[in-house]
Structure 1
Amino acid sequence: MQQYRSPRWLPGGNAQTIWPALFGQRHRGPAIQFRRERWTTPDADFVDADWLGEDTTAPLLVMFHGLEGSTRSHYAQAFADWARRHGWRFVMPHFRGCSGELNLAPRAYHSGDFEEIGWMLGQAKQRHAGPIAAVGVSLGGNALLRWAEEAGGSAGATAKAVAAISSPIDLAAGGHAIGRGFNRLVYTRMFLRTMKPRALAKLAQHPGLFSREQLLAARDLYEFDNVFTAPLHGFRDTDDYWARGSAKPHLHRIRIPALVLNALNDPFVPGSSLPRVHEVGEHVTLWQPRHGGHVGFPGGRWPGHVMTLPEQVMGWIARHL
C-alpha cells in the first residue's frame, strides 16, 4: 500500500474518494448478512453491533466507522468480505445514533472518543475468545489511535494490533481543509445533510440541550462542532475539541503495533499535516502513498473495486498477530 497507485482511469484525490464509495465493487461473494446485537452502555444508552461469523476462537476484526458511517459503508463491506474469505470473525459497533435509530443519552460521538472505543473493545473481548485486532476509518481511526495512546502498555491485553485509515489525526488541519472550496461545496454539505437533522432530533429528545437557531445557521463542521459536538462532549469549543481530540501529538505513546495509512492526495487530510517517522515512535508504521483519496484506494479495471485496501491493511495486521 505504501507503493499504491490508482488506476489510470481514475485520477485525482476527489475522484478516488467519490467513485469507490458510490460504484466500487465491495465484495467478491454473495451479499453480506450481519447479525445485530444491542449492547447497553454504562449510562443506560445503547450501541448496536453488527457481527459476521460465529467462531469465537478465530481472529476477530473490530472495525470503527467514519463520520456518519455504518456497516452499509463501502469500506465496512469490503473488510467484512475479507474477514469472511479468510476465516476471521468481524464486528462493527456503531457509534451512537449511527445504526439507524436515535440513541437515548444527551450525547452523540466524536473524533476523540477514546473512552467509548475502550468500552466497545471491552464488550467485543467479553464475547470472543480468540485474538483481536482493530481497524478505524477516518474519524473512527483517530479515536482508535487515541485509545491506544491513552491505554499505553495495557492496550495489548485487548488488541494485538490497530490500524487507522485516512484518519484526520490533526483535527484542526482536517477540519479547516474540509471547510474550504470544493470540499465545502460537496463534502461539508453531504455531512451536514444528515448531521443537522440528527442533532435536531436529539434536541427534541432533550429540550434546551443547545441553540436550535445556532445549529441551523452552521455552514461548516467548525460551526456545527461549536454548537453541538464540543459542548455535548465536555469540550469548551471546537478549538478545544480539535486540540484535545487529535491523535497526532501523542503517537509516540502507542505501545502496540499500529498502522497509520494516509494518501497524500486525500481531500480531507492535507499531506503537510501528516507525521514523519521521527514523530511517531517505534511501534507506529506510516504508510503515505501518493494516491488513494479519502478511504478510496480503488483497484482493477473500470468500474473498479475497493478490495485492495483490506487486502493490504489486513495483510499487515495478520503479520502482527
Structure 2
Amino acid sequence: MPAASAAAHPSFEILGGARDRFLPALSHLSRPYRPFPLLAANRHVETIFAAFFRSVPDVRLRRECLRTQDGGAVALDWWVSGDARRLPPDSPLLILLPGLTGGSEDAYVRHMLVRARSNGWRVVVFNSRGCGDSPVTTPQFYSASFLGDMREVVSHVTGRYPDANVYAAGWSLGANILVRYLGQESHNCPLSGAVSLCNPFNLVVADEDFRKGFNNIYDKALTKALCKIFKKHALLFEDIGGEFNIPQAANAKSVREFDDGLTRVSFGFMSVDDYYSNSSSSDSIKHVKTPLLCIQAANDPIAPNRGIPREDIKENPNCLLIVTPKGGHLGWVAGEAAPRGAPWTDPLVIDFIQYLERGAVKAPETSTNPGSKEALYHLEV
C-alpha cells in the first residue's frame, strides 16, 4: 500500500492542514499498526512494560552544562560515539526533550538517539533543571509554562552550528513545552521542524484523568520522582517565604500537591488550576508556523485522547496529527522491534525529519542570546 493511501487505513486517525503535504513522505505508515499481542489488551500493561522492560541502548554522551540568564543551569548531553565529532558542520541537528522527570538515561530517549545518529544527524538531549542529574543552582525548577530555558538552549545550539538545520522532538511534558515554544515563537522560530509525541495538550483534562482509577499509580510514581529531585536541592529553598509551601512539596502525595506547593508559586500562578489552564499547548497549535508532526495513542492514560486540539490541527497548514489505536503512554510496543526494542514511532519521526531536510529552507536566523554564557564544563558519562 503506498504511503499516500495510509489515511484510509483503519488503524490510524490522520488529520491536519498539512496532511496532503506530509503524508506521502511517511512511508512507515504504509504498514499496519500491529501491537505486540501479549501487551495489546491493556494500555496500562503496555505503558508499564515499556517503562521497565524496554532495552536501554548503551551510548556515550558528553555533558555540557549551560548557564542560563537567571543563574540557573541545564544539562545538554551530546552523542559522542563513533565519528560524531567528524560530522560536517551542516549535518542536521536534533534536540530531544524528555518527559516529566525524564532525561538522557531513559530508554525511549536513547533509542531515538541511536536511530537519529545512524542517519548521520547530530543529537543532543535537553535535560531540564534537576532532571538527568542536571544541576540546580537557583530555587527554581522547570514547568510546563516556562519557556526561558528552551529559548536559551535553541539559541545556544543554533549559534554553535549556524549552517545546520535544527529540529526538535519532545515526549509528554517535553512535547507540551516544545509545542508552546513553537506557538510563542511563531514566525521567528529558528527550528526547521518538530515532532510532538504523547503530548497531554490540555493539562486541565490531563489532571482530571490523572487522578482517576489506575492512573493513581502513575501519579504516585511521578510524584516520588519529583520529590526525590526536590530533596536533593531542598537547601536552596530554605527560608524562601512567600506563598511557597516547602513541606508540602517535599512530602507531596500527588503531582498536583507538588505543583501547588512549589511549581505554580515559582512561576507566578494564583492556583494549580490557573497554572494548568495557562500552560496547555492546546492553545498554541493555531499559532505554529513550523512544520509539526503530532503522534498520539488513542488509549494513552496520561495524555487523554479527548484533550487533543483536533480542530486547530485540522485548520493549521503546518500540522499533521497521527493517532494510533493503541500504544499507551510512551509505549508503542509494536512493529519489528517489539517487544523490547525501539518504539514503533521512531521510524515515523525519522521519515518526517528526513523529508523536511531534503527540502529544507533554512529557518530564520536568530542571534545568539548575549546573556547566555558558553558551557560551564564538560563531563564524560
Distance in 1, matches of 2:345 and 2:159, equals: 28
Q: Is the 8 A contact 2:246 2:262 kept in 1?
A: no
Q: Where does structure 2 lack aligned partners over 5 or more consecutive residues? A: 1-10, 13-31, 358-381
Superposed displacement of residue 315, structure 1: 1.0
The residue number in structure 2 matching 1:154 is: 188
Equivalent residue letter for 1:4: Y
In the alignment, does 2:220 pair up with 1:193?
A: no
Deviates more, 1:228-237 or 1:71-80: 228-237
Deviates more, 1:95-104 or 1:262-271: 95-104
In the alignment, does 2:262 pair up with 1:232?
A: no
Equivalent residue letter for 1:36: R
Match of 1:173 among 205, 224, 227: 205
Give the 3 Å change call, closer, same or farther, for CA 89–250 of structure 1 in structure 2. same
SS at match of 2:65: strand
Give the 3 Å change call, closer, same or farther, for CA 147–278 of structure 1 in structure 2. closer
Between Structure 1 and Structure 2, whose CA radius of gyration is higher? 2
Give the 3 Å change call, closer, same or farther, for CA 183–102 of structure 1 in structure 2. same
Equivalent residue letter for 1:7: F
SS at match of 1:181: coil
Q: Is the 8 A contact 1:225 1:237 kept in 2?
A: no
Deviations 1:218-245 (A, max 9, x none): 3221221111111112222211111111
Deviations 1:60-105 (A, max 9, x none): 1101111110111111101101122111110012100113154011
Deviations 1:166-222 (A, max 9, x none): 0111011112212221111x2111111121133234432221333233335532212
Match of 2:234 among 200, 203, 206: 203
Distance in 2, matches of 1:38 and 1:220, equals: 30
TM-score using structure 1 length: 0.92
The residue number in structure 2 matching 1:112 is: 145
Distance in 2, matches of 1:92 and 1:306, equals: 17
Distance in 1, matches of 2:46 and 2:342, equals: 10
Match of 1:315 among 324, 335, 351: 351
Distance in 2, matches of 1:176 and 1:199, equals: 24
Distance in 2, matches of 1:233 and 1:215, equals: 15
TM-score using structure 2 length: 0.78
Q: Is the 8 A contact 1:26 1:307 kept in 2?
A: no
Distance in 1, matches of 2:181 and 2:134, equals: 26
**After TM superposition, which residue ranges in structure 1, 4 or more long, deviate above 4 angstroms?**
277-280
Q: Where does structure 1 lack aligned partners over 5 or more consecutive residues? A: none
Deviations 1:33-79 (A, max 9, x none): 11111111111222111001322321111011111101111111011
Distance in 2, matches of 1:15 and 1:124, equals: 38
The residue number in structure 2 matching 1:92 is: 125
Q: Is the 8 A contact 1:215 1:228 kept in 2?
A: yes
In the alignment, does 2:48 pair up with 1:48?
A: no
- Provide the aligned C-alpha RMSD in A: 1.9
In the alignment, does 2:326 pair up with 1:291?
A: yes
Distance in 2, matches of 1:221 and 1:290, equals: 27
Distance in 1, matches of 2:101 and 2:312, equals: 33
The residue number in structure 1 matching 2:100 is: 67
The residue number in structure 2 matching 1:25 is: 55
Q: Is the 8 A contact 1:179 1:221 kept in 2?
A: no
Distance in 2, matches of 1:206 and 1:46, equals: 16
Give the 3 Å change call, closer, same or farther, for CA 71–301 of structure 1 in structure 2. closer
Give the 3 Å change call, closer, same or farther, for CA 76–14 of structure 1 in structure 2. same
Equivalent residue letter for 2:231: L
Equivalent residue letter for 1:47: V
SS at match of 1:223: helix
Equivalent residue letter for 1:183: N
How many pairs were matched up? 315
Q: Is the 8 A contact 1:136 1:144 kept in 2?
A: yes
Equivalent residue letter for 2:76: A
Distance in 1, matches of 2:223 and 2:246, equals: 14
Distance in 2, matches of 1:46 and 1:8, equals: 43
Superposed displacement of residue 301, structure 1: 7.0
Equivalent residue letter for 2:139: P
Give the 3 Å change call, closer, same or farther, for CA 58–180 of structure 1 in structure 2. same
Identity of matched residues, % = 25
